[in-house]
Chains A and B, each alone.
Chain A
């Protein structure tokens, strides 16, 4: 089955700086890569996703890149704000539809 690894496990950034989270996956058949944000005590929510026919996607301050050859994808948050503090999960799924999640990255934005 699919195995998703996520790094780093924790990330502390100064407000206004950028944050980058990287994930790798094992199954070359995977073709859908969503990112979820989970604030403390709340449910995960989709913030951005990318499909295998696209190399990059951007939505305001967040962007995701995908390198299918290397089987890795990354989340970039620019101009970080305190409300960006949360746990971020990457995930991958292929023809079997099941999402395999990374272990999560706890992002702390320092004021």
Chain B
């Protein structure tokens, strides 16, 4: 079946502009995660959605970052007033139940470049 998909694959924007990144999880997966991967770094947790529960936003680096998940499926990560330090690959992952012991399947990522 189809895996996790993300769009766009690449996004170049100017400092100060807003951007929206989209994630389509695997059908039926109730848990969805966003991570940020800076060059040469590991994966930084941003936000977690599980079913109808309130999302865990504890990893969002500033109030310029927000995310929503509509209908328990597609998620959009929005970065307002982008800064150069926001440049990174943004990865989305989904899992079947959330919580521990459930493999996270990653999307291909969106490479964001802020000029």
Contact = CB atoms under 8 A, between A and B. Distances in A.
Contacts, number: 53
Contacts of A46: 103-104
Question: Chain B binding site: helix, strand, loop or mixed by DSSP?
Answer: loop
A43 B99 contact: no
Contacts of A43: 4, 91, 106-109
Interface stretch (B13-21, B38-46, B66-74): B38-46
Interface stretch (A14-22, A62-70, A73-81, A101-109): A101-109
A44 to B, nearest CB: 5
A98 B107 CA distance: 17
- Category for how many chain B residues contact A: 20 to 34
A98 B56 contact: yes
B90 to A, nearest CB: 12
Interface string B79-109: 0000000000001000000111101101111
Given A6-B42, A98-B58, A99-B45, 20 more contacts: A32-B101, A42-B108, A43-B107, A43-B109, A44-B91, A45-B106, A89-B43, A91-B43, A94-B100, A95-B100, A97-B100, A98-B48, A98-B56, A99-B33, A99-B43, A99-B104, A101-B42, A102-B42, A103-B41, A103-B42
Interface of B: 4, 33, 35, 40-45, 48, 56, 58-59, 91, 98-101, 103-104, 106-109
